Amino acid sequence: QVQLQESGPGLVKPSETLSLTCTVSGGSVSSGSYYWSWIRQPPGKGLEWIGYIYYSGSTNYNPSLKSRVTISVDTSKNQFSLKLSSVTAADTAVYYCARDYRGYSGTRHYYMDVWGKGTTVTVSS
């Protein structure tokens, strides 16, 4: 079955760029039915969708983060990545990657069915 695994530094300094990678196993990031999303969760708070990428490279970002976010895909490595620039303590969170399905079986469906375990990123000097 498809599994997702986040990786990257657990500590980032304020004003620097947070960089994370999600590796997809058991499936292909090039599958046409899926977008690939990043979601984060600050300590003790709720989930926030950051954005998604399609294998073609098309993206869509949360407007509140759009000016600082870049999501990219590397189909040769079966990975997609997140960069968040100019981080502050408010960006401290658990970051999740997720498979984001868009399909049609008589009717349109959207769902996020497979999630990584999450990786904790702390912004601190």
Partner 1 sequence: QTVVTQEPSLTVSPGGTVTLTCASSTGAVTSGYYPNWFQQKPGQAPRALIYSTSNKHSWTPARFSGSLLGGKAALTLSGVQPEDEAEYYCLLYYGGARIFGGGTKLTVL
Contact residues toward partner 1 (CB under 8 A) are 37, 39, 46-49, 52, 60, 62-64, 96, 100, 107-113, 115-118
Question: Which DSSP letter does residue 27 get?
Answer: S
Total residues found in the chain within this entry:
125
Q: How far is the CB of 66 from partner 1 (least distance, A)?
A: 11
Smallest separation (angstroms) from partner 1 to the CB of 101: 8
Which is closer to partner 1, CB of 55 or CB of 112?
112
Alpha carbons within 13 A on the beta-carbon side of 96: 18
Q: Which is nearer to partner 1, 10 or 46 (CB)?
A: 46
What is the closest distance, in whole angstroms, from the C-beta atom of residue 115 to partner 1 in the complex? 4
* CA–CA distances in Å: residue 52 to residues 34, 37, 105: 10, 4, 22
Q: Compute, in degrees rounded to 10, the torsion defined by CA atoms 58, 15, 123, 47.
A: -30
Between 16 and 27, CB nearer to partner 1: 27
Rounded Cα distance, 123 and 125, in Å = 7
Taking the complex as a whole, the smallest distance from the CB of residue 15 to partner 1 amounts, in Å, to 26
Nearer to partner 1, 11 or 47 (CB): 47
